[in-house]
Amino acid sequence: MTIPPEAVILLSSPPTAFVREEITSLQTQIINPWTSDNPETIIASAASRVRAIINCSSRVNIDTDYMNRFPNLSLISNHGVGYDNIDAVEAARRGIIVTNTPDVLTEDVADLAMALLLATVRLIPQADQFVRQERWLKAPFPLSGSLQGRTMGIVGLGRIGHAVAFRAKAFGLHITYHGRHRQAKVDYSYHPDLLTMAKDCDTLMVTAPATDATRHMINESILKALGPAGVIINVSRGSLIDQDALISALSSGTIFAAGLDVYEDEPNVPKALIDLDNTVLLPHIGSATLPTRKAMARLVVDNVEAWLSGHSPLTPVPECLGL
C-alpha cells in the first residue's frame, strides 16, 4: 500500500491537547477546521483530498452519509476504545480501516470502576457533603452498604472486565460473568443468560461494548432480578442500560444504587438521575488521566504513521480484520 505524499488528514472534531501536540510529527497536511468560524465550509472544500480522519469525539456520527462526503477516505483513527459512533462494518466494506486505542486505557478505567463501586456502596460523595454542610455536628452519618459478601456479575469480560475482576477479587468479591461465549482458562463462573446472572448476583459491573445487540440489555427485568440490595456500575456506554427503567428502579427501591460514568445522551444527564440520592454520577472520566490520555493520543498518531508508511495500522478494530 502506497500513500501519496499529498494525502490530507482531517480532524473530524476539536482535538485533545495531546493529539494536537502529537500530530506535529506527521509528515503530511493536516486540516483542523475547528480553528475557524466556519468549520463545515473548510471540511467541504477539502473533502475530495481527505485520505484519513482522526476522530476525537464519540458524538461525531461517522455513518454511511458521513463517509460519502470523503470519496478517497482510507483510514479512520479513533481516539478511544469504543467506536460505536463509527459504522465499522460499512467502513470495512468500503476498504476503510478503522482503528481504536485499546489496552492503554484499561488500567485507569478499571481503577475508576472500582472507585465508583466503592463510592456508590459506601456513600462516599454523600458523606463528603455531610461533612461540608456541617451536618455531622448535629447527627452521625447513616450506615452504608458494604462490599463484603457481595457477588459481582461482570457484563462483558473483555480487557477492562478482566482488569476489574482482578481488582474485585482482591476486595473479596465473588466473581461471575456474562458474555457471548464461555472463555477458556477463566475460573470465574459463566452465565450464558444475563437474567440468570442478575438473579445470582447483587452487583452488576457493565464493561461490554456498545452494539445493536447490547443496546438496553440492562432492562426492567434485569434490574428487578438484581434485587433491592442491587448495585449497578456502568463504565462502558450509556446505551447498554435502559435509562428510564434504571430511574424507575432507583426511585422505587427495586435496586439499591447506581454508579454511572456514562449516559445515553452525553453530556445531557436526566434531572431525575441527578435528583436521586442513591446515585453517584461522573462526567465520563474513565480514561481521563494525564498518562492515559497521552498514551491514547500517541496510539492515534502511531496508527496514522504506520498507515502513512505503507504498513498495517497497529490496532485495527475487529470488523476491519474480518472478525
Residue environment code for 174-210, b if the CB has 16+ CB neighbours within 10 A, otherwise e: bbbbbbeeeeeeeebeebeebeebbeebbbbbbbbbb
Residue 266, phi then psi, degrees to nearest 5 = -70, 145
Task: Supply angle C-alpha 257, 259, 265, rounded to 5.
Answer: 115
Of 20, 162, 174, 284, which residue is the catalytic one? 284
pTM of the full predicted structure?
0.93
Examine the residue annotation and report whether 266 is marked as an active-site residue of this protein.
yes
**Ordered structural domains, the chain, with CATH:** 8-103+290-321 (3.40.50.720), 106-281 (3.40.50.720)
Of 93, 182, 266, 311, which residue is the catalytic one? 266
Residues facing residue 206 across a β-bridge: 155, 234
Examine the residue annotation and report whether 293 is marked as an active-site residue of this protein.
no
> What confidence score (pLDDT) does residue 323 get?
72
Among 1-15, 106-120, 292-306, name the one with the lowest average pLDDT: 1-15
Examine the residue annotation and report whether 319 is marked as an active-site residue of this protein.
no
Please say whether the beta carbons of 302 and 23 come within 8 A. no
Closest CA to 235 of 192, 191, 285, 302: 285
Quick one: cell of 321? 480484520
Residue 54, phi then psi, degrees to nearest 5 = -105, 120
Write out pLDDT tens, residues 258-315.
999 999 999 999 999 999 999 999 999 999 999 999 999 999 999 999 999 999 999 9
Task: Supply angle C-alpha 39, 42, 47, rounded to 5.
Answer: 120
Of 51, 79, 178, 237, which residue is the catalytic one? 237
Rounded distance, CA 90 to CA 63, Å? 8
> What confidence score (pLDDT) does residue 1 get?
47
> What confidence score (pLDDT) does residue 5 get?
53
